[in-house]
Structure 1
Amino acid sequence: MKTFARNKKGQAAMEYLMTYGWAILIVIIVAAVLFSLGIFNPSTYTTTIATGFNPHSVPAGGFKISSGGVITMQLTNGAGATISITAGGAGVGGSHVNAITSPATPITVAPGQTMQLVYTTGASTLTSGSGYSANANITYTNVDSGLTGFISSGTLSGTVS
């Protein structure tokens, strides 16, 4: 009689595995297909957005980063006074380079004027199509008042072009 009860338990366990094993296998196959289609790739959902840089602004779509780590950014002077950009820096991940490569500093920018700045980030192995988050800053002087040492910094997020 004891043998009969043991066989019943084994049969119940086998039925459980067969019933739910197929369901688990189907879930694994669906997850693999979704992963191969790029559904779980974070860069698929990366939005292009610039935050910070107060009192200045970066227009929508006004920046990009190349796979060589070069950031091209448009910055609009929102200080309400003429400024002179004396330095700047940018970085992706752990790298940070304190240099605006184009145009040469100091750069005089009138109120409301948009200036294109080019930074080298030091991150030279970015993959085209992958997502990134970069930090950038400028140091500037208020030409109208003569006050120096202002720093405007922000974050740029998007997809490497």
Structure 2
Amino acid sequence: MGKGNRLPALKGQAAMEFLMTYGWALLIVVLVAAVVFLVVRPAGLVGESKVSFSGIDVTRFGVDSANDVLLMEIQNIRSTRVNVTAIYVESATGTQIAKTDKAIELASGKRSTGFINATLPVSVETGESYAYRVFIEYYYSDLGPTNKLNSTGTLSGTAS
């Protein structure tokens, strides 16, 4: 009767002794893995991604490292004609780094012809990962420019 009751207690004691002895090593391994994950910058591993655009969508994009330009193709996903008045680009810290004032009129479902260029103030190297927040300012053609809307999202990837 004595041995049968002590076995679970001994297993629990062995587990506690293991964690007390080797727990610090496990903690160090987890911390090193976290630091490596942050240094490698996962955006460069995932490839291109876009998040959260509505109304006006960014269908294709990329950074041209030879010219330090963010290239974007946009599409009207609203059910009515819109006029795009400006596109603002912010860095990860929230600082506005580029603006295009190119006026574009898009019918419902239509894409911009060619890419829209937003010149970046900082040199971007080939293979370097990037993440930019983009604000597309537009209005419905039939309502006029007094009722401006924004389509906002994040573009990230690796410069080519």
The equivalent residue for 1:132 is 130
Write out aligned runs for 1:56-135 (5 A): 56-59=56-59, 62-67=60-65, 68-94=67-93, 95-100=95-100, 105-115=102-112, 116-122=115-121, 124-135=122-133
Matched residue type, 2:109: G
Does the 8 Å CA contact 2:57/2:151 hold for their aligned counterparts?
Answer: no
Post-superposition, which runs of at least 4 consecutive aligned residues in structure 1 deviate over 4 A? none
Gaps of 5+ in 2: 1-35
Query: Deviation of residue 53 (structure 1)?
Result: 1.7
- Does structure 2 retain, via aligned residues, the 8 Å contact 1:87–1:138? yes
1:92 Cα deviation from its structure 2 partner: 2.9
Bigger-Rg structure (1/2): 1
| Equivalences, count | 119
In 1, distance between residues paired with 2:51 and 2:120?
18
Cα 1:44–1:89 change in 2 (3 A) is closer
Secondary structure at 2:57 match in 1 = coil
| Residues 56, 78 of structure 2: 8 Å contact kept | yes
Could you tell me whether the CA contact under 8 Å between 2:56 and 2:136 is conserved in 1? no
Q: CA RMSD in A?
A: 2.5
Rounded to whole Å, the distance in 2 between the matches of 1:63 and 1:114 is 13
**Counterparts of 1:65 and 1:82, CA distance in 2:** 28
Aligned to 1:11: none
State the identity as a percent.
23
Quote the offset at 1:44 in angstroms.
4.9
Change (3 A) 1:66 1:46: same
Q: Does 2:152 match 1:153?
A: yes
Amino acid at match of 1:84: N
Gaps of 5+ in 1: 1-34
TM-score, scaled relative to structure 2: 0.63
